[in-house]
């Protein structure tokens, strides 16, 4: 079995995925990047040095339990082990419940919660022999009530419950499961919101640190939790949210 640390990034071509991939590349570890679009994922892997730099590309639909299981089996078959996996697949739906269609609800749950479950379901058994780190992504909206977030808040709250239960289930095997919970991050999926000056300013005002997040803010936390050196941390929710999930700004005046 290879002694090189092997890390898997699911959803590598999103904003946070790209930032995380850049942080992990060049570390000497083997990095496997995945996304639904193999061409885009391969282009990112090549940008980061490709197979010569230990960066590999695969495709997967993270909403498909069988596909995620096959992916992880393939990573272990190719590289001999799996030490860390981050599920960065996700979506954002901002609608009140009464305007959310059944298809939108199903897609939100599949993309954000089912994908997380698929990763835990497949990765935890793959790590049981040597231990490892699973990092999932929730949201500050799962921990504080924000209007028009019903579907996404429900999905992301489910991620937290999943992670804490899995941390208890697999901890004795050395498998750590943690969550990063971002606030509003300037990224492709938030582009319309951030592009509206009034909405962007209102969002900034909700974050006590007075700014929106950058993808690298989240990537730094994901990379830290994946690091085998931080192996006494499990079942935790790390808010990378400018304070949004837990504290409120002071009233003006």
What is the residue extent of each domain of the chain?
A: 6-183+214-237
pTM to 2 decimals?
A: 0.94
Predicted confidence at residue 214, as pLDDT, reads 93
Predicted confidence at residue 18, as pLDDT, reads 97
109 in helix, strand or coil? helix
Q: Going by C-beta distance under 8 Å and a sequence separation of 6 or more, which residues neighbour residue 8?
A: 31, 32, 34, 71, 72, 75, 82, 84, 85, 86, 123
Predicted confidence at residue 192, as pLDDT, reads 67
Predicted confidence at residue 209, as pLDDT, reads 86
Which 8-state DSSP code applies to residue 48?
A: T
Q: Are 178 and 236 in contact (CB under 8 A)?
A: yes
Burial call 32-70: b when 16+ CB within 10 Å, e when fewer: bbbbeeeeebbebbeebeeeebbbbbbbbbbbeeebbbe
Predicted confidence at residue 88, as pLDDT, reads 98
Predicted confidence at residue 210, as pLDDT, reads 83
Phi, psi of 249 (to 5 degrees): -70, 155
Residues of the chain with pLDDT under 50: none
Predicted confidence at residue 250, as pLDDT, reads 72
43 in helix, strand or coil? helix
Q: Which of 56, 78, 226, 206 lies closest to 145, judged by CA?
A: 206
CATH of 6-183+214-237, one of 1.10.260.40, 3.30.360.10, 3.40.50.720, 1.10.3720.10: 3.40.50.720
């Amino acid at each position: 079995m290879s002694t090189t640390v092997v890390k898997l990034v699911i959803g590598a071509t999103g904003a946070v995925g790209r930032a995380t991939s850049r942080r992990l590349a060049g570390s000497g570890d083997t990095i496997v990047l995945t996304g639904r679009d193999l061409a885009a994922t391969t282009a990112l892997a090549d940008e980061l040095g490709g197979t010569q730099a230990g960066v590999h590309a695969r495709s997967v639909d993270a909403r498909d339990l069988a596909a995620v299981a096959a992916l992880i089996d393939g990573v272990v078959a190719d590289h001999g082990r799996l030490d860390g996996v981050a599920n960065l697949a996700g979506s954002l739906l901002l609608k009140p419940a009464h305007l959310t269609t059944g298809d939108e609800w199903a897609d939100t749950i599949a993309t954000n919660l089912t994908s997380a479950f698929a990763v835990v379901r497949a990765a935890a058994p793959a790590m049981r022999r040597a231990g490892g780190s699973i990092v999932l992504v929730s949201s500050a909206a799962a921990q504080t009530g924000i209007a028009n977030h019903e579907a996404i808040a429900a999905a992301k709250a489910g991620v937290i419950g999943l992670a804490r239960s899995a941390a208890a289930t697999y901890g004795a095997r050395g498998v750590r499961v943690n969550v990063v919970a971002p606030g509003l991050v300037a990224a492709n999926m938030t582009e319309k919101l951030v592009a509206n000056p009034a909405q962007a300013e209102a969002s900034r005002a909700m974050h006590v640190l007075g700014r929106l997040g950058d993808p690298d803010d989240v990537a730094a936390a994901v990379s830290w939790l994946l690091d085998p050196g931080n192996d006494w941390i499990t079942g935790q929710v790390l808010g990378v949210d400018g304070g949004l999930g837990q504290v409120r700004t002071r009233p003006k005046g």
